[in-house]
Amino acid sequence: MELEKLQQFFNTKVSEAKVQFERTIDCKHTEFDNLYPYMSEQPQFFWYKRYVAWQELLTIITLADELGIEWKTAFLEKQVGYIEDKVLDAKVLDNWYEQIESEEHSERTN
């Protein structure tokens, strides 16, 4: 039963981190904006915000891996590859979504 609770906990955390990262890709408001409202007018803020959300996602994934908890089912195969490479670059931001998932994504984040 404890393993089930742990899996559920990490499923929730992975999902939240994924949504937070995707909102940064879409330049939508996130919790990070609330922490630094005075920074939102700075152009570099959006890159920094994406980096922070990416790092949060990688941290949760690393913990899940160390605990032997499955996380890959929450992502497309291409996204798993980006996460495993651990490098946030323009390729990740430009190609995170696939055609079919883009429609689902816009429904979830509105």
* Three-state secondary structure of 55-95: HHHHHHHHHHHHCCCCCHHHCCHHHHHHHHHCCCCHHHHHH
Residue 98 pLDDT more than 80?
no
Model-level pTM? 0.82
Decide which of 106 and 86 is more confident.
86
**Number of domains observed in the structure of the chain:** 1
Residue 107 pLDDT level (bands cut at 50, 70, 90): low
Mean of pLDDT values over 8-26: 95
**CB 87, CB 26: distance < 8 Å:** no
Q: How many CB atoms neighbour CB 24 within 10 A? A: 23
**CB 79, CB 88: distance < 8 Å:** no
**CB 79, CB 61: distance < 8 Å:** no
Interaxial angle between packed helices 43-66 and 2-25, expressed in degrees from 0 to 180 and rounded to the nearest 10: 160
Q: Which domain holds residue 58?
A: 2-109
